[in-house]
Amino acid sequence: GNSVTQMEGPVTLSEEAFLTINCTYTATGYPSLFWYVQYPGEGLQLLLKATKADDKGSNKGFEATYRKETTSFHLEKGSVQVSDSAVYFCALSGANAGKSTFGDGTTLTVKP
């Protein structure tokens, strides 16, 4: 079955530091890949997505590239802000519509 493995947290960075959160996946076929962000007490919000190999998703300074050869979708941001503190989830959706499979989440704390 499908699975997503995320870098374990928590991750604590200083403001303006570089962020990488690793994500690798196992799936049959050609899944779509997503990063979601969850702020305290809220639901998940889509941060970015990529639907085929070598696609780069980007939003709000965050980027992730769909790497089929390494089955990875690592999240990066060049300069984090305090407001980026949240839980980040990597997810995939299989070739047929239906459930998404989520990683366990990585908690990011950015200190001023």
Write out the residues near other proteins by the rule CB under 8 A: 6, 31-32, 34, 36, 42-46, 49, 51, 89, 93-105
Q: Name the minimum Å distance from CB 43 to other proteins.
A: 4
Backbone CA torsion sign across 38, 44, 47, 48: positive
- Maximum Cα–Cα distance for the chain, whole Å? 43
DSSP-derived pairing of the beta strands 75-77 and 62-65: antiparallel
Q: Name the minimum Å distance from CB 14 to other proteins.
A: 24
How far is the C-alpha of 32 from the C-alpha of 102, rounded, in Å? 12
Nearer to other proteins, 19 or 90 (CB): 90
Nearer to other proteins, 25 or 36 (CB): 36
Q: Name the minimum Å distance from CB 107 to other proteins.
A: 9
